[in-house]
Amino acid sequence: MAASPPIPITILTGFLGAGKTTLLLNLLPQLPPPPETRLCLLKNEFGSVAVDSRLFASASTTPSAQATPAVTTPGSPRAATPATPRVSPVAGVQELLNGCICCNLVGQLGDALEHLRNTYNPTRIVIETSGSAFPATLAMEVNRLSTLSASGAVGSAPKYFLDGTILVVDCENFKGYEDTSYTAKLQAAYTDLVVLNKWEDVGERRVEDVVDSIMGVCEDVPVVRSRRGWVDREVLLGVDKGQRGLLDPKEHIGGEGCGAVCTQTGEGEGHKHVHKYGEKHMDEVDVLSVRLPKAQGNGYLDYAALDKLLTTAPKDEVYRIKALFKLSKAPPKPPVAGAQGVVVADENQDGGWFILNWAFRRWAVTRVEHEDNEGDVCDLTVVLAQGEGRRWKKKLEAGAFVVREGDGSEGLMVEIVE
């Protein structure tokens, strides 16, 4: 029997809130439906809230009616055509939580890929990293796994191959987090393609400054602009790694001016990755885990209180908020002029479970299917600028933002994720 062809793996990286998930959601309608496409997603988050996996799981079970966006600028995608319901190409979603996939969770990557391969038989896997991940380490681990055959030994029939590493850059906020995150600078040095996102509402000078910063660490990386988070699938998939030789450790790790070293010792069980740029790049951000349990007879979050947090949190202190919560009724449109919140259109105004994706004062609230239980009213992860953890822990513990409807915040737990 002929061996199965290796599964292409694409690594999607970018700082917190850059628009990685949006890029993926806009990719889905461009892909052929199953069985031609069986896409699996492996997503990584700092906290314990599996928000994105629920979002994509909904996409995998609900017929998609999205269409290519209408854009009239030269060289842009074709105009929108009437949407027709279609089966989603997403076969399965898995999330690695409570850590970073390129360091303390890197040892779990092989098992996670094996689970997706054996359960869904995917035609492609996309790994979406946490916002502070270092792609070179992850790329080398995928390369190591790609040398193993289906039996787990080095062989001639590999199970995977690395199709490319893509970096999404938020042009609106890049200069801010570039100054505070060394990893944000290094991400551009170890990628095959850079996608500029959120450039439409900033001046051309800002975009040029971002490109100059990227070229300062890697002058020959190709750069493309998204269209409100949309990039043609032919650009994203099948990236030509050979154009730069980025994925050979001898060529791109520890080179002159690199500032980072990643070493490999041993093979198999003894294989390790060691970071030398501050040891723990997760120290560049503080992470809070927030849980609000149900009270007797009250199982709903007060969305008006949470909305105060969403509309007032400073962008230079709060980078990212993700949450899963239950509401007694669908949330209203943002009442504050200039607020960038979006409540995904839904004719159903009844209550239920919702997920929140918030980044730099832009956010979306989406209804999801979730099994009701006796657990929490709200699970929330907050990613903050370095040094802000203790101060924001006290703010949240004060009970002004995360509370039950008419019942206060008794039992609220706010923990700093180490």
Q: Is the pLDDT of residue 256 over 70?
A: no
| Whole-number pLDDT of residue 291 | 93
Looking up tokens 């105004």 gives 349
Q: Tell me the mean pLDDT in the region 314-337.
A: 81
Phi, psi of 123 (to 5 degrees): -90, -15
Q: What is the pTM of this model?
A: 0.67
Tokens of 19: 């628009």
d(CA 257, CA 316): 28
| Whole-number pLDDT of residue 288 | 92
Q: Is the pLDDT of residue 23 over 50?
A: yes
Higher pLDDT, 138 or 337: 138
Q: Tell me the mean pLDDT in the region 217-246.
A: 74
Q: How confident is residue 332, by pLDDT bands cut at 50, 70 and 90?
A: confident
Q: Tell me the mean pLDDT in the region 232-237.
A: 86
Higher pLDDT, 408 or 98: 408
pLDDT tens across 42-99, in order?
Answer: 887 765 565 666 666 555 544 433 333 333 333 434 444 444 556 788 888 888 776 6
Write the DSSP string, 169-221: EETTTHHHHHHH-HHHHHHGGG-SEEEEES-TTS-HHHHHHHHHHHHHH-TT-
* Lowest-confidence segment of 144-158, 222-236, 285-299 by average pLDDT: 144-158
* Lowest-confidence segment of 32-36, 74-78, 191-195, 407-411 by average pLDDT: 74-78
Averaged pLDDT of the chain: 74
Q: Highest-confidence range of 127-136, 363-372, 408-417, by mean pLDDT?
A: 408-417
d(CA 328, CA 353): 9
End-to-end CA distance of the chain: 49
pLDDT tens across 388-402, in order?
Answer: 999 999 999 998 999
d(CA 162, CA 97): 23
Determine the residue type at 45: E
Higher pLDDT, 203 or 240: 203
Rg for the chain, CA atoms, rounded = 21
Reduce the DSSP state of residue 305 to 3 states and report it.
helix
